[in-house]
């Protein structure tokens, strides 16, 4: 199960022990120059690299449960299920993709036709539903299966791709693609790339470069477009070339109250805080109210609420003065919870919506 991938993420995954990857900037080793930046050999992908497992004859059989590759993949998927709260349809699609790629590798070993399936994706859903974090896990899985060299995640928005004057967009977009090669490029709120109402907008140039790379370098790059479902539908209708290159559309549902409380529990455990009975009941009430208000951002709003409860707890302890024990440092009181403006008539704190 997963609570949060970090301040820059809209996801909710607990950090992995010993993990040090820069999930936003992809700080792993820089890839080499991109061959034929406008497309390889007329846009035709090179022959696919064969898997390194021993070849199989037509009479051989394989016990999947004993295959080392299948065992490692199963462990990753089980960990994925444990770390993430909810997201049943997302988990099901990830397992389907993993199964397809595993069987594809076995087909290679038998010498059967094995063309690489399109792995470009579209993630739709509200903020704070885990799209960035799932994209990171997808990169790790594809690296494990040998479909990506490194599996790093490079997360960007329109501002990282589109320039403000003639000749600025192409180098910006290609530099981002260079960093993403061998891994996953996540474009958040991708529909902002297309602004037909502005004749001087350079977003269309970025889209055209992306289309070239998505086809010419699909052996070494997975592009994930993310955003609200209705806006992504408009984007795809306006850009049929992009729609034809995206094979997997995965919708991230909003979390239920129970799921949000599970996520809150993970976050509190990670920070070594506790909510005694009355405080937990008050926080459950808080979450229920906050879910009905504007700009609610699922796990992101839960993280922001916990941060403000910590602030109120710290202010209360310092104001009280005197001696203090470990239990006082750990416990968040009902008063700390109910001090939120969500319980009053005022609008929710804007910090909820970061």
pLDDT in tens, 85-135: 999 999 999 989 888 888 888 887 788 877 778 899 999 999 999 999 999
- Range of 303's domain? 257-353
**Are 57 and 115 part of one and the same domain?**
yes
Residue 68's pLDDT band, with cuts at 50, 70 and 90, is low
Domain of 325: which CATH number? 1.10.8.60
Q: Looking at residue 18, what is its pLDDT?
A: 33
Residue by residue, DSSP assigns 58-100 as: TT----GGG-HHHHHHHHHHHHHHHH--S-HHHHHHHHHHHHH
Least confident range of 26-30, 205-209, 237-241, 287-291: 26-30
Model pTM? 0.76
**Are 186 and 275 part of one and the same domain?**
no
Domains of the chain: total: 2
pLDDT tens-digit readout, 271-297: 999 999 999 999 999 999 999 999 999
Last residue of a domain, one of 235, 252, 269: 252
Distances (CA, A) of 144 to 29, 112, 147, 275, 310: 18, 21, 8, 39, 39
């Amino acid at each position: 199960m997963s609570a949060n991938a970090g301040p820059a993420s809209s996801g909710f995954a607990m950090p992995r022990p010993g993990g040090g990857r820069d999930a936003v900037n992809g700080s792993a080793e820089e890839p080499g120059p991109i061959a034929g930046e406008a497309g390889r050999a007329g846009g035709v992908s090179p022959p696919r690299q064969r898997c390194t497992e021993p070849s199989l004859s037509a009479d051989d059989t394989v016990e999947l449960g004993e295959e080392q590759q299948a065992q490692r993949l199963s462990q990753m998927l089980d960990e994925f299920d444990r770390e993430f709260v909810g997201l049943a349809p997302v988990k099901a699609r990830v397992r389907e993709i993993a199964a397809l790629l595993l069987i594809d590798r076995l087909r290679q070993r038998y010498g059967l036709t094995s063309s690489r399936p399109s792995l470009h994706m579209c993630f739709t859903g509200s903020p704070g539903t885990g799209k960035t974090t799932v994209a990171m896990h997808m990169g790790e899985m594809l690296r494990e299966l040998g479909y990506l060299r490194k599996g790093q995640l490079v997360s960007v928005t329109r501002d990282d791709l589109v320039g403000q004057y003639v000749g600025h967009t192409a180098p910006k977009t290609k530099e981002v693609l260079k960093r993403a090669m061998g891994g996953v490029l996540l474009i958040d709120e991708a529909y902002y790339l297309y602004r037909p109402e502005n004749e001087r907008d350079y977003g269309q140039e970025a889209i055209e470069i992306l289309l070239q790379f998505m086809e010419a370098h699909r052996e070494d790059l997975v592009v994930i477009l993310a955003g609200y479902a209705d806006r992504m539908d408009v984007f795809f209708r306006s850009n049929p070339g992009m729609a034809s290159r995206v094979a997997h559309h995965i919708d991230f549902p909003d979390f239920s109250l129970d799921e949000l409380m599970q996520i809150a529990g993970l976050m509190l455990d990670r920070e070594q805080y506790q909510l005694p009975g009355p405080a937990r009941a008050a926080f459950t009430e808080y979450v229920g109210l906050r879910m009905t208000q504007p700009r609610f951002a699922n796990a992101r709003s839960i993280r922001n609420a916990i941060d403000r409860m910590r602030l109120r707890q710290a202010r209360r302890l310092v104001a009280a003065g005197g001696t203090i024990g470990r239990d006082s440092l750990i416990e968040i009181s009902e008063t700390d919870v109910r001090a939120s403006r969500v319980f009053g008539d005022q609008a929710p704190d804007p910090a909820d919506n970061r």
